[in-house]
């Protein structure tokens, strides 16, 4: 809808990264989305995308071999599968990784913001782990930190719980046949679609206000069909 695109665009315009994703998610949830698992937050962002752009997530990726630009269209319903219910808002889960029993939760935007100022990637990773892992035990007793293999396995398990945190597709290039994994940045795609829709709306308001003297509110309330007809006439 034109007005939701405008409101979301205005909310996110002066921000970037996790703060912008959060501002957009708030437009959908109407509550603070900072403590939602990242994938669940992005499932809400996809609701906004559907609202401003339609039911298919349209992305473009460059072939890693020949640099051809490829279109990647995915139904929003497929991406949001498993997120239809809003009951699971994160929280601790128990995982068995080899001999280790781990209580951990999925990372949230609040976690990302908290580790943002860490000086290096390994330091940020360690800080994130410290926030998300509540306990590790082996054979019933408390135990030290997870090793690299266990951390990697925990990452995979958490991704199964919150799959939208990392959206990847196997793509075959139409031009050269190269096969590669394409990563989709959901918050970025939602932001781009929202700003495009907002600018289109602003242009429409500008044209019709000039032509007919209507207010912004009046123009935003026009049905899609009337809007199109008036734009054709103006």
What three-state secondary structure class fits 95?
Answer: strand
Verify binding: residue 178, Zn ion, rule CB under 5 A: yes
HSE of 213 in the Cβ direction (CA atoms, 13 Å)? 0
Q: Which stretch binds Zn ion (CB under 5 A): 49-57, 138-146, 178-186, 202-210?
A: 178-186
Report the alpha-carbon distance of residue 75 to residue 219 in Å, rounded: 30
CB of 72 to Zn ion, least distance (A): 13
Q: Using CB under 5 A, which residues numbered 30 to 89 contact Zn ion?
A: 63, 65-66, 68
- Compare residues 64 and 209 and give the one whose CB is closer to Zn ion: 64
Interaction pattern, residues 102-131, with Zn ion; x per rule: CB under 5 A: ------------------------------
DSSP output for 15-71: --HHHHHHHHHHHHHSS--TTSBHHHHHHHHHHHHHHHT-SEEEEEEE-TTT--EEE
Residues 155, 28: contact at Cβ < 8 Å?
no
- Residue from the set 173, 193, 198, 205 that interacts with Zn ion by CB under 5 A: 173
Give min distance, CB of 85 to Zn ion, in A. 40
Using CB under 5 A as the criterion, which residues of the chain lie in contact with Zn ion when the complex forms? 63, 65-66, 68, 173, 175-176, 178
């Amino acid at each position: 809808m034109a007005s939701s695109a405008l409101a979301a665009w205005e909310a996110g315009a002066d921000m970037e990264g996790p703060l912008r994703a959060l501002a957009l998610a708030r437009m959908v949830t109407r509550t603070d989305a900072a403590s939602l698992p990242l994938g669940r937050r992005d499932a809400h962002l996809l609701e906004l995308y559907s609202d401003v752009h339609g039911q298919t997530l349209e992305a473009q990726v460059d072939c890693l071999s020949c640099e051809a630009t490829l279109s990647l269209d995915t139904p929003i319903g497929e991406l949001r599968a498993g997120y239809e219910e809003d009951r699971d808002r994160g929280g601790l889960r128990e995982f068995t990784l080899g001999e280790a029993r781990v209580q951990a939760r999925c990372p949230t935007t609040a976690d990302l913001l908290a580790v943002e100022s860490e000086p290096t990637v390994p330091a940020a990773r360690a800080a994130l782990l410290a926030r998300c892992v509540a306990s590790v035990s082996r054979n019933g007793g408390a135990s030290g930190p997870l090793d690299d293999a266990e951390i990697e396995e925990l990452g995979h398990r958490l991704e199964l719980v919150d799959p939208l945190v990392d959206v990847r597709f196997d793509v075959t290039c139409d031009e050269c046949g190269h096969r590669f994994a394409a990563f989709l940045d959901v918050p970025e795609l939602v932001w781009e679609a929202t700003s495009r829709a907002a600018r289109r709306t602003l242009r429409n308001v500008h044209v019709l206000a000039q032509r007919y003297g209507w207010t912004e509110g009046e123009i935003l309330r026009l049905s899609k069909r009337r809007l199109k007809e008036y734009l054709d006439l103006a």
